[in-house]
Structure 1
Amino acid sequence: MNKIQYETTNTTISHIKEDKEASPSFYATFLLPFLMNNYTGTNGLLVFTISFIGLIALLAKTTLFYNNPILSILGYRIYNFKKDGSDFIGICSQKLEKKTLKINYNKVSNNVVFFEVIE
């Protein structure tokens, strides 16, 4: 089994709170209306392409990519927490019960990390 190599190890996080509304709200506000439109013919393809590019640009600019519904389906959870006094968003496959933990993590963007809890 290939283990993930983490950039930063043995870091303490606190004020951990699960964001249970992240993926459903993303799905309801972005994907569902986008998929419900009728895209037929050349004009439909053009509108679909422009809309898709706009959606990707919006996700990239606002760091909403962490709300990926596929991650939710695969069992990953979104958490908000503090590290060194700054607010972070974390993606983790484990259900967290404690309010302060030690983690290993990889930075995805400025304030978004993919992490695992150190047992």
Structure 2
Amino acid sequence: MTDNLSMKRALIMQSFAPLFLILLIKYFDCRLPHLCRAFFMVMLKEPEMALIKLIHHPLLITAVLEVLCFLWIIYSIYSVRYFEKSQRSNFVSMGESPINIEKIQDSGVTFFMTYVLPMAMDDLDTLQGFIVFAILMAMLFALMWKTNLYYQNPVLTILGYEIFSFEFETTQLAQYEEKKCIGITRGNVEEGDNIKRQIISDNVFIIYEDI
């Protein structure tokens, strides 16, 4: 059994898509498209002059932030499609059943209120603010990579996925015997159902009823 680290990375980045959408709207400046067009026109004629003007332009940080937000959102949209496509194969069915199921109803809301909303309130259109934001994002990404907090993804909640904790009644995965696991599903999984599973990482699984 191998962890799906690419899916884990996609879910982590997807978790922050609402934050970058908010920032994209918050810092959008109607002058940016015109300035970008003017920059590339000068760049074709006088590259050095264009770079000097770019470095000293007051909207440089805003432009960098907008590009970062746009690319992050594009990747997040791709990651949603990747996540859905991955559920068409690579499931394991071994007659296992979940027990002690507990729905985690507020995971997406908790993540949004804890990590997304406070970050959206910061002032990011200054160099110092942008650097602090970048450091915080790097630390949050590292924290989520080292833990299983990425299952609290608010985007999954919006897309209709349910999150629940469970234990395996019986399983050939020795490391997960009598251990709390996290299940992600779209639909309904009840105690005693035969399931098919796909490991993401840590103790987080995609689970569906094996019909």
- TM-score, normalized by length of structure 1? 0.88
Residue matched to 1:115: 207
The list of structure 1 runs, each at least 4 consecutive aligned residues, that deviate by more than 2 angstroms after superposition, is 2-5
> Could you tell me how far apart the structure 2 residues matched to 1:110 and 1:41 are?
38
The answer to whether structure 1 residue 11 and structure 2 residue 96 are counterparts is yes
| 2:149 alignment partner, one of 51, 59, 64 | 64
Cα RMSD for the two superposed structures: 1.5
> Could you tell me how far apart the structure 2 residues matched to 1:17 and 1:102 are?
17
- The percent identity for this pair of structures is 28
> Could you tell me how far apart the structure 2 residues matched to 1:40 and 1:51 are?
16
SS at match of 2:201: coil
Conserved 8 A contact 2:122-2:129: no
Residue matched to 1:102: 194
SS at match of 1:106: strand
Structure with higher helix content:
2
- TM-score, normalized by length of structure 2? 0.52
Structure of higher CA gyration radius: 2
The answer to whether structure 1 residue 91 and structure 2 residue 163 are counterparts is no
Alpha-carbon shift at residue 45 of structure 1 (Å): 1.4
Q: How far does the alpha carbon of each residue in 1:88-118 deviate from its partner, in whole angstroms, 9 at most, with x for none?
A: 100001133x322211111111211011111
> Could you tell me how far apart the structure 2 residues matched to 1:114 and 1:47 are?
35
The answer to whether structure 1 residue 36 and structure 2 residue 121 are counterparts is yes
The answer to whether structure 1 residue 27 and structure 2 residue 112 are counterparts is yes
Conserved 8 A contact 1:79-1:89: yes
Structure with higher strand content:
1
Structure 2 gap segments, 5+ residues each: 1-84, 169-176
Conserved 8 A contact 1:14-1:101: no
Alpha-carbon shift at residue 56 of structure 1 (Å): 0.7
